[in-house]
């Protein structure tokens, strides 16, 4: 890494988290109060050209002109700060150049197999449905991991009128634009009056959330086929489409992306959704073995000459030992156990589990990036097997009782996944607990990642959750601070003392990469 203290603290924020742009955050980092507090900056992927999921649906890796500029990255280099940036291995946006070329050119697109054609993948392993997609044999998908109900398919209209299913693990949305009489006159050889009446019916149905198949055309039902064909042929999509890692073009894309990230000043590349990318018939298609490791090895071969350290991001229970497997293969791992362990220790007065975890990290030489809060929430699924079910439930009850939200695993009740809360609120908005939690984090093995809102003692933002509507629970811990709010926060002792701890952690030679760490217990 460019910075001498590679294990110094790493700020974590969206480019618009403080002030509104990355340039505003750079100005904050240039302030004397933050001097030497951080050696790295993990900028979340809305720094890039994205459309959904606050950055995790990549159109391309060009800088987002509204939030960032090349001079911002140069200013960070002058502050001797290297970057951690995201690389989403499994998918790209429907709005990406490659997928848009498929929509335009269909079978003639050079990117026809850049994404995964569901029917080509499952050919010979299921039955074709009337809807035009293959329903795989039950035995082949009974153990498959799904992120949402139903098969992970987005039906895409090709220029020749066919609907082709593409693999879509994550988000999708189909949009139909409102129409006017002239649109429908050309679509169905209609008179103006008929077309005008149909346009009114169609627009009313669209406003009510109906799809073309659900629309009632009344006395003009004879034009149903022509109107529906027009609507389907002009539909638009949002979503994250799975990449076909068997395509050489995808590996060209991977190489170009890593070169771009290195050019921005990245030292760490966080691999998002990597475990979904390798796919095989009959496999779980999440963390496939050996496909996952073959993928990571190929990516590492590209990254190493560029001076990039890979950080695969994955949530799995402690009992599955996925973190240990990753570490044994030479990768840094996210310490998703620490946030819950610290709250457990502070609330119960019992630090044994925290002590045991620190000891395990040292004895097994596991290199981590650790955290308290982050953009996603406080992990709980990961603690399964490390803490008892009763202790985990007590932890959930405590954080929810302080205004947090529980996120179940993919909609399945009683399958806890994470709690959404600011870490400060999860600790009861207690300054002493916040400082102790930060000190524990900074003295743990690993490179500390600091969520900006925790640094500024941010509280649960319930109004943001209300504004976001359904599925907006994560907004509780993503409040964008104005410059004025940041100025006020810097006056708080809990913030100033965190910054003192961070300066010590980032500048003291005892914390450098080659240093040895020991943990001791007095037995109490």
Given 272, 335, 344, 461, the catalytic residue: 272
Pairing of strands 368-370, 412-420: unpaired
Our answer to whether residue 272 is catalytic in this structure is yes
Our answer to whether residue 313 is catalytic in this structure is yes
- Structure-token pair, residue 192: 């103006």
Q: Buried b / exposed e across 454-487, counting CB within 10 Å, b at 16+?
A: bbbbbbbbeebbeeeeeeebbbbbbbbbeeeebe
Between CA 479 and CA 452 the distance in angstroms is: 10
DSSP letter at 40?
A: E
Residue 345's φ and ψ, nearest 5 degrees, are -65, -45
Which are the contacts of 330, defined by CB distance < 8 A and separation ≥ 6?
A: none
Which are the contacts of 193, defined by CB distance < 8 A and separation ≥ 6?
A: none
268: helix, strand or coil: strand
Between CA 475 and CA 466 the distance in angstroms is: 9
Between CA 196 and CA 182 the distance in angstroms is: 8
Short-list 43, 29, 36, CA closest to 3: 36
In whole angstroms, how far apart are CA 212 and each of 16, 193, 204, 361, 460? 39, 20, 12, 56, 41
Given 137, 313, 356, 429, the catalytic residue: 313
Note whether 227 and 184 are within 8 A (CB). yes
Catalytic residues: 272, 313
């Amino acid at each position: 890494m460019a910075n001498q203290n590679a294990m110094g603290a790493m700020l974590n924020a969206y480019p618009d988290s403080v002030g509104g742009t990355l340039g505003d955050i750079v100005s904050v980092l240039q302030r004397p109060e933050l001097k030497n507090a951080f050696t790295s900056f993990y900028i979340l992927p809305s720094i890039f050209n994205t459309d959904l999921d606050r950055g995790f649906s990549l159109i391309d890796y060009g800088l987002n002109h509204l939030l960032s500029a090349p001079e911002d990255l140069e200013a960070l280099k002058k502050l001797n700060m290297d970057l951690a940036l995201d690389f989403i291995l499994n998918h790209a946006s429907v709005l990406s150049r490659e997928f848009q070329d498929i929509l335009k050119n269909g079978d003639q697109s050079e990117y026809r197999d850049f994404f995964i054609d569901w029917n080509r993948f499952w050919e010979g392993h299921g039955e074709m449905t009337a809807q035009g997609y293959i329903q795989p044999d039950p035995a082949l998908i009974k153990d498959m991991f799904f992120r949402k109900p139903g098969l992970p398919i987005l039906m895409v209209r090709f220029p020749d009128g066919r609907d082709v299913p593409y693999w879509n693990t994550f988000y999708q949305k189909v949009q139909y634009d409102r129409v006017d009489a002239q649109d429908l006159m050309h679509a169905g050889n209609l008179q103006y009056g008929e077309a005008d009446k149909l346009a009114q019916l169609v627009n009313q149905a669209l406003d009510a959330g109906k799809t073309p198949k659900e629309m009632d055309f009344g006395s003009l039902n004879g034009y149903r086929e022509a109107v529906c064909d027009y609507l389907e042929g002009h539909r638009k999509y949002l979503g994250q489409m799975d990449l076909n890692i068997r395509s050489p073009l995808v590996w060209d894309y991977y190489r170009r992306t890593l070169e771009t990230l290195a050019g921005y000043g990245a030292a760490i590349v966080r691999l998002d959704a990597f475990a979904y990318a390798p796919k095989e018939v009959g496999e779980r298609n999440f963390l496939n073995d050996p496909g996952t490791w073959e993928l990571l090895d190929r990516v590492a071969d590209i990254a190493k000459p560029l001076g990039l350290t890979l950080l695969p991001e994955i949530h799995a229970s402690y009992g599955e030992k996925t973190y240990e497997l990753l570490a044994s293969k030479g990768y840094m791992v996210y310490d998703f156990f620490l946030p819950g362990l610290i709250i457990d220790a502070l609330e119960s007065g019992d630090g044994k589990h925290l002590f045991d975890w620190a000891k395990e990290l040292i004895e097994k030489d596991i290199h981590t990036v650790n955290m308290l809060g982050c953009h996603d929430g406080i992990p709980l699924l990961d603690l399964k097997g490390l803490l008892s079910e009763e202790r985990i439930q007590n932890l959930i009850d405590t954080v929810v009782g302080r205004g947090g939200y529980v996120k179940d695993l993919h909609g399945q009740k009683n399958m806890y996944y994470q709690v959404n809360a600011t870490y400060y609120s999860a600790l009861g908005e207690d300054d002493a607990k916040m400082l102790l939690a930060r000190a524990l984090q900074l003295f743990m093995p690993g490179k500390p990642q600091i969520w900006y809102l925790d640094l500024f003692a941010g509280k649960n933002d319930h109004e943001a959750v209300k504004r976001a509507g359904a599925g907006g629970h994560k907004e509780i811990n993503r409040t964008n601070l104005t410059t004025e709010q940041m100025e006020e926060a810097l006056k708080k002792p809990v913030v100033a003392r965190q910054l003192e701890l961070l300066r010590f952690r980032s500048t003291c030679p005892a914390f450098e990469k080659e240093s040895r760490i020991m943990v001791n217990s007095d037995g109490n």
